[in-house]
Amino acid sequence: MGTKKNMSISFVLIAIVLLWLKNYTVYKFIFDIDIENTMQEFILFINPLSFLMIVLGIGIFMAGRKQKIFVVATSFITSFILYANVVYYKEFSDFITIPLLTQTSNMGDLKSSVGELIGWTDILYFSDALLILVLAIVKTPNISFRKYKSVYAAAFYFSAIGLAFFNLGLSESERPELLTRTFDREILVKNIGTYNHHIYDAYLQTKTTAQRAMADGNQLTEIENYTRAQYTEPSKEMFGAAKGKNIIVVSMESVQEFVIGQTVNGQEITPFLNEFIKDSYYFDNFYHQTAQGKTSDSEFLLENSLYPLGRGAVFFTHSGNEYMSLAERLKENSYYTAKLHANNKSFWNRDVMYNNFGYDRLYSLPDYEVNEENSVGWGMKDVDFFDQSIQQLKEMPQPFFAQYITLTNHFPFELDEEDKFIDEFDSNSGTLNRYFPTVRYTDEALKLFIEDLKAEGLYEDSIIVIYGDHYGISENHNKAMSQYLGKEITPFVTTQLQRVPMIIHIPGHEGKTISSVSAQIDLRPTLLNLAGIDTKQDIQFGTDLFSEKQDNFVVLRDGSFITEDAVYTKGVCYDKATGEPTDGASCEPYIEHAKNELSYSDQIIYGDLLRFYRKDEQQQ
């Protein structure tokens, strides 16, 4: 008994262990991190420790009250950082980055989404910090709040730093080029941990800020050679097929391809689109390539045929860059250009970015009559949005390029009873259950829109492009998704679920389904060629969807890629026909190519390289 009295445990160590175990628990139960072997599990287990030791360890240089305050405060702060990541992850299956925190103009509109994601039980995420607080207040003879002797403190920090390097070494051997060429944040967090990821992110932030200052024109020459070598001739038959016609583009909020032609509870989800497709070109292997910038990323792809950024939203981080936008090219060819979206114009920094892209007009919230009755969820209902926009469309000088962005089918997928044309699905995910009726609602809105276009005599003079902006159902709903699809959601299936519908309706052209592998990056060259505008000299990463030499190769923003026969994701090569992992031979030739695509495009944006593009070359 007597000896036990002297045995006391350091308060700092208790806090480190509690926070460490909480972190690992969150990894296991909240973050859906793929673990392929015991080594990866081990890395995941140890990765929060070095950071916690280094930061909370500062407490060992303090004693008594000072130590208590420091350790309790640090525990709450680190818990809050982890919790913020949990909330973000629940909706986006992704982790927070610094550029996201600077997007303050989006905050107001995010209210309805955040409300859905947080709850009282979330206090559990702070249970360790609360316990640490209690231990600091309640007198327990077994806990010591003493300062460490310098020799112990030195040993402690040696071990912490040693552990950090050990962790990094193991991770690098599991995943070469981890810190230099990894575009998938899940892999980063899996290897270096949430907190170290934030430190790495801060380093990237500093680096990217410096990149513009250091950039020079020579970098662009190499990239120009690369993109020109990728150029494919447009199809003779389709080049100029829409010359002089209006171009109407509809970006459908969160609509994925898996709903097309399908039913839920025996009811058709997209009855209108299913019919419209029969009379249009339909691309059923078309992928979204967005990341943290969501809708704005899809707009960026459409406009520039460049990849959006792997972290943050390029609409916020690089709105002052020089671009070669689709709007600008159409304007040079006497098109009137407009965007229509019934939301706050500064959401995603759109007003600034559209201005840069050279749009003649942005119709946003003040241009619409929005009230209680015609609003739900994020704002104006799609039916009313299309209805009121017809007036604006009629006023535009022709030919026009008008891009509509819908809103109702946005997470958390709220709908008024009278707008529910089909029933909800029945699964453990309210999100997926509600998704079907809201998609059905957007489908109805589109039907009415097309009827209006016909009534106004605009239908025959316009090509109509309709596509989904990004996924609506994140990996967090895999269980429910698997119930709906009737199959297991493997990483292969997840990648295939990144397909969004893509329709091009051209008056006088018969319907046709085109199954080549394509993506949002291909929109710009396709639309310009349809309008009869040559893009040979443009710097772009996409290829014309109608080109006979279409490359059947798509890179997603996280580095995954899809070819005719294979899907590569999270370091594994899958056979497309079977969905089973393969030895990798069919992916091998493309791995470097995919990395180059992303890194060349990133270099253009970070270095603002298009400012070095010489306009006169375009005329040659």
Size of the site for ligand GP9 (CB under 6 A): 8
Residue 295 interacts with Mn ion (CB under 5 A): yes or no:
yes
Neighbours of 556 (CB within 10 A): 24
Least separation in angstroms between residue 412's CB and ligand GP9 is 11
Q: By rule CB under 6 A, what string of x and - marks binding of each residue 232-271 to ligand GP9?
A: ---------------------x------------------
DSSP state of 499: B
- Residue 558 tokens read as 């996280």
Give me the residue label for tokens 């004693």. Answer: 63
**519 DSSP β-pair partners:** 287
- Residue 163 tokens read as 């552990």
Size of the site for Mn ion (CB under 5 A): 4
* The one segment of 206-214, 259-267, 417-425, 464-472 that binds Mn ion by CB under 5 A: 464-472
| Alpha carbons 371 and 344: distance in angstroms, whole number | 14
Enclosing H/E stretch for 485: helix 478-485
Q: Which does 405 bind (CB under 5 to 8 A by kind): Mn ion, ligand GP9, none?
A: ligand GP9
* The one segment of 117-125, 357-365, 402-410, 529-537 that binds ligand GP9 by CB under 6 A: 402-410
* The one segment of 45-53, 261-269, 405-413, 519-527 that binds ligand GP9 by CB under 6 A: 405-413
| Alpha carbons 125 and 80: distance in angstroms, whole number | 8
- Residue 288 tokens read as 């979204």
Which C-beta is closer to ligand GP9: that of 27 or that of 88? 88
Which C-beta is closer to Mn ion: that of 295 or that of 343? 295
| Nearest residue to ligand GP9, by Cβ distance, number only | 294
Contact yes or no for 11/136 (Cβ under 8 A): yes
What is the rounded radius of gyration, in angstroms, for the C-alpha atoms of the chain? 27
Least separation in angstroms between residue 344's CB and ligand GP9 is 7
Q: Does the annotation flag 275 for ligand binding?
A: no
Least separation in angstroms between residue 477's CB and Mn ion is 17
Q: Which of 542, 417, 400 is nearest to 463 (CA)?
A: 400
Classify residue 296 as exposed, middle or buried by CB count within 10 Å of its CB (0-12, 13-18, 19+): buried
Least separation in angstroms between residue 130's CB and ligand GP9 is 33
- Residue 380 tokens read as 């104006």
What is the phi/psi pair of residue 363, to 5°? -95, 115
| Alpha carbons 152 and 150: distance in angstroms, whole number | 5
Whether omega for the bond prior to residue 99 falls within 30 degrees of 0, making it cis, is: no
Whether omega for the bond prior to residue 399 falls within 30 degrees of 0, making it cis, is: yes
> Taking CB under 5 A as the criterion, which residues in 96-155 touch Mn ion?
none
Residues in CB range of 36: below 8 A, 6 or more apart: none
| Alpha carbons 435 and 442: distance in angstroms, whole number | 11
Residue 442 interacts with Mn ion (CB under 5 A): yes or no:
no
Least separation in angstroms between residue 497's CB and ligand GP9 is 17
Which C-beta is closer to ligand GP9: that of 144 or that of 254? 254
Least separation in angstroms between residue 295's CB and Mn ion is 3
Which C-beta is closer to ligand GP9: that of 296 or that of 560? 296
Q: Which does 343 bind (CB under 5 to 8 A by kind): Mn ion, ligand GP9, none?
A: ligand GP9
Residue 469 interacts with Mn ion (CB under 5 A): yes or no:
yes
How many CA atoms does the CB half-sphere of 170 hold within 13 Å? 21
Give me the residue label for tokens 């009737």. Answer: 486
Q: By rule CB under 6 A, what string of x and - marks binding of each residue 341-360 to ligand GP9?
A: --x---x-------------
Which C-beta is closer to ligand GP9: that of 50 or that of 476? 476
Q: Which does 224 bind (CB under 5 to 8 A by kind): Mn ion, ligand GP9, none?
A: none
* The one segment of 104-112, 119-127, 249-257, 548-556 that binds Mn ion by CB under 5 A: 249-257
Contact yes or no for 181/599 (Cβ under 8 A): yes
Report the SS3 class of residue 55: helix
| Alpha carbons 524 and 302: distance in angstroms, whole number | 5
| Alpha carbons 383 and 392: distance in angstroms, whole number | 15
Q: Does the annotation flag 477 for ligand binding?
A: no
Which C-beta is closer to ligand GP9: that of 164 or that of 407? 407
Q: Does the annotation flag 505 for ligand binding?
A: no
Q: By rule CB under 6 A, what string of x and - marks binding of each residue 285-304 to ligand GP9?
A: ---------xx---------
Least separation in angstroms between residue 252's CB and Mn ion is 9
Strand 361-363 and strand 336-340: the pairing is parallel
Q: Which does 347 bind (CB under 5 to 8 A by kind): ligand GP9, Mn ion, none?
A: ligand GP9
Task: Provide the annotated active-site residues.
Answer: 295
* The one segment of 41-49, 226-234, 247-255, 262-270 that binds Mn ion by CB under 5 A: 247-255
What is the phi/psi pair of residue 257, to 5°? -70, -25
Give me the residue label for tokens 């007597």. Answer: 2
* The one segment of 89-97, 173-181, 289-297, 511-519 that binds Mn ion by CB under 5 A: 289-297
Which C-beta is closer to Mn ion: that of 111 or that of 181? 111
Q: By rule CB under 5 A, what string of x and - marks binding of each residue 251-270 to Mn ion?
A: --x-----------------
Which C-beta is closer to ligand GP9: that of 100 or that of 160? 100
Least separation in angstroms between residue 12's CB and ligand GP9 is 41
> Taking CB under 6 A as the criterion, which residues in 575-614 touch ligand GP9?
none
| Alpha carbons 313 and 311: distance in angstroms, whole number | 7
Least separation in angstroms between residue 407's CB and ligand GP9 is 6
Contact yes or no for 313/329 (Cβ under 8 A): no
Contact yes or no for 274/513 (Cβ under 8 A): no
Q: Does the annotation flag 538 for ligand binding?
A: no
Angle at 105 between CA 100 and CA 111, to 5 degrees: 85
* Termini Cα distance of the chain: 92
Residue 405 interacts with ligand GP9 (CB under 6 A): yes or no:
yes
Specify binding-site residues. 253, 295, 410, 469-470
Footprint on this chain of ligand GP9 (rule: CB under 6 A):
253, 294-295, 343, 347, 405, 407, 410
Specify binding-site residues for Mn(2+). 253, 295, 469-470
Footprint on this chain of Mn ion (rule: CB under 5 A):
253, 294-295, 469
